[in-house]
Structure 1
């Protein structure tokens, strides 16, 4: 969705929160006072506001605060509302079909209407036409994967859900992002191992076969082969070598870019502690570091931190950095044994924050403020026999 439509949808949740009985509104507002995760979301946003006052670039700081505003308003609404188990099941059924059909439509349009090759699907259809990075799209694609996988493990409509699972995994392979694929592979190993430990051998072998078939098919695609070959042939781990390469040429190895950005960000953080450079000055501080080594790709692309953890320490020092870690820790503490969707997406978000600054864009804010709290409520409803309606 566009930035405007996203904003309208988000802020409509605020009045909807109050379209309830007086007793329920009072109950929700009382619960907010003791709901640690919601309080930490609000505190995290307020720290960004504090960083405004010692920023030199007030205009950029204000834009950042506006983008982050949903972190203050939406999580309390998502956490404190309830949804019936019946409606959860309806929603999951809708999502597993609608998301898969949408991506099939996008691929058909890209290949047959726009007459472009699959190698350009990410750059043209996803990034240029939709204006969304593959890092954010992955969260959407993971939903039908998880829904189908849960149904397979519960022995429900095996053929249908196997087809949906394979299509969704195929879309992830088509995105071709190394971080996403690494997490997908690690998750596959985890699920298989846990099934063996639970002595569910049939499910484990079934999942193993599906994974092997998908992996074999993916390895035949030019886009994945090309990205793996480029990564293997062009990656150095020596920092001086990476600096020299990026000083004289505009390289395309994003792994090396991230290593170099992290190195420069840490230097800047060391100089700006304990308060950071300010909500509005973190990008200009990075640019200053890029110039010291003539980091051509970063200067041309105006690259951000590509690391949400370092970004918070750079912006608002110990206060923002530690608060962000505390918030994630609090969210992890809410995981229960039988939860399925919430732990997976939260873990992926926390892992991916090492290589991407998710909260620099509204799509990332929506994932953090809306999707993660909503999946918690969804898992909670699925694992509660008694439910209530507003």
Structure 2
């Protein structure tokens, strides 16, 4: 079946827009990924690879390739196959996106993504107000503020840290386009629209209120400010923009803090409480209440995962056996609180070390830091910010175990790689002309 280049490009990019926009909804996004793969297989002759794009494809697929390479190490082959199935998008995305790298419309895609994601969050926020007025009343009255972000995320069907990882990226992209609108002297309507979307995106990150996402978002703002303001404006404009930005963001943050006093407690005494009880959480009275979301719980999990990993070298316990073996270790070491709630590793480097041995953290490092390389090489604040978000998030969580981390990173890594190859190809052509 023949298809015109124009129609193929249009359908290809529509798929990318829809997949990016539905990433927070596992089922529809999975269906779209399957359709995307089928479409590209049907028109497989459209694929074109360079040596560089093939190398990037291998890097993006490396977690999946490692699972296949060490499949023999699983105690349960059916569970090993299930683990591989979750990572298949790490082959689909680079194969079909980098294979069509010249068709990827990077800035249009991120523009569409921020519009649709912010719009959907606004819809779900009003929906949440309508279906859970009791929770909103508690929130407005300062009662049980700790549960609000998780309840809101659950109403959408996604884990709060995963949702806020997406929302932090959206807020950073939106700030980029705020600066871009002023630098390119866009109309006042476009400037107001960009600023409104930014305020909404910033608010949603505060509302879901997970610690790493808030930190990542603020660091992303700094990166965008450095690349889009400090490097492109004179000193007077930098000072003026800094002052306006600090006043606006500070006002929003203080207003939110006034309505949510639990944030002060959460980010200070709650987060770093009982640090002398690492590995001894059962000595704390009611640990479910006092340290369930505290850093000491993460540190206790990491301690156990590290100890078990050292006993399981050189090839680890297998992809299907990481969590079961860790829970078994909790029981063996009399850590009943951790065993009761079956905590996973909450650190991607440690998780892959436990499952795959020496090779695991090397692959995680290669996967994440290649994103950073693309961003720094292009001097692109959006890509650098994504790298920082995904790297920092995987220090306290394990997003390469979950659809919302695997597909999210695989899609954007492939898009960033395509944009990088486009820019390198253009630069090489210019060199040849010169």
- TM tier relative to shorter chain: 0.7 to 0.9
Unaligned regions of 5+ residues in structure 2, if any?
A: 1-23, 140-144, 428-434
Identify if the C-alpha distance between structure 1 residues 94 and 327 changes in structure 2 by more than 3 Å, giving closer, same or farther: closer
In 2, distance between residues paired with 1:231 and 1:21?
A: 51
* TM-superposition CA deviations, 1:194-232 (whole Å, max 9, x none): 53465342333332222212221221232xx31431453
Is the 1:272–1:317 contact (alpha carbons within 8 Å) kept by the matching residues of 2? yes
1:304: Cα distance to partner? 0.8
In 2, distance between residues paired with 1:36 and 1:379?
A: 13
Partner of 1:107: 125
Identify if the C-alpha distance between structure 1 residues 12 and 177 changes in structure 2 by more than 3 Å, giving closer, same or farther: same
What SS does the aligned partner of 2:315 have? coil
Is the 1:338–1:383 contact (alpha carbons within 8 Å) kept by the matching residues of 2? no
RMSD of equivalent CA atoms: 2.9
Is the 2:301–2:345 contact (alpha carbons within 8 Å) kept by the matching residues of 1? yes
In 2, distance between residues paired with 1:160 and 1:244?
A: 51
Q: Does 1:178 align with 2:216?
A: no
In 1, distance between residues paired with 2:224 and 2:112?
A: 25
Q: 1:96 aligns with which of 114, 137, 154?
A: 114
**For this pair of structures, how many residues does the alignment match?**
378
* TM-superposition CA deviations, 1:30-54 (whole Å, max 9, x none): x368622211233431221233312
Q: How does 1:101-140 map to 2 (within 5 A)?
A: 101-115=119-133, 116-117=135-136, 118=139, 119=145, 120-127=147-154, 129-140=155-166
Q: TM-score, normalised by structure 1?
A: 0.85
Q: Does 1:305 align with 2:305?
A: no
Identify if the C-alpha distance between structure 1 residues 34 and 158 changes in structure 2 by more than 3 Å, giving closer, same or farther: closer
Q: How does 1:256-267 map to 2 (within 5 A)?
A: 256-267=296-307
Unaligned regions of 5+ residues in structure 1, if any?
A: none
Q: How does 1:43-192 map to 2 (within 5 A)?
A: 43-82=62-101, 88=106, 90-115=108-133, 116-117=135-136, 118=139, 119=145, 120-127=147-154, 129-154=155-180, 155=182, 156=186, 157-192=190-225
Q: 1:204 aligns with which of 242, 254, 261?
A: 242
1:318: Cα distance to partner? 0.9
What SS does the aligned partner of 1:220 have? helix
Identify if the C-alpha distance between structure 1 residues 147 and 183 changes in structure 2 by more than 3 Å, giving closer, same or farther: closer
Q: TM-score, normalised by structure 2?
A: 0.77
Q: Does 1:350 align with 2:373?
A: no
Is the 1:36–1:330 contact (alpha carbons within 8 Å) kept by the matching residues of 2? no
Q: Does 1:242 align with 2:283?
A: no
Partner of 1:363: 404
In 2, distance between residues paired with 1:340 and 1:192?
A: 9
Q: 1:271 aligns with which of 297, 311, 315?
A: 311
Is the 1:242–1:256 contact (alpha carbons within 8 Å) kept by the matching residues of 2? yes
* TM-superposition CA deviations, 1:55-83 (whole Å, max 9, x none): 22333322211111221232232223236
Identify if the C-alpha distance between structure 1 residues 330 and 185 changes in structure 2 by more than 3 Å, giving closer, same or farther: closer
In 2, distance between residues paired with 1:379 and 1:218?
A: 38
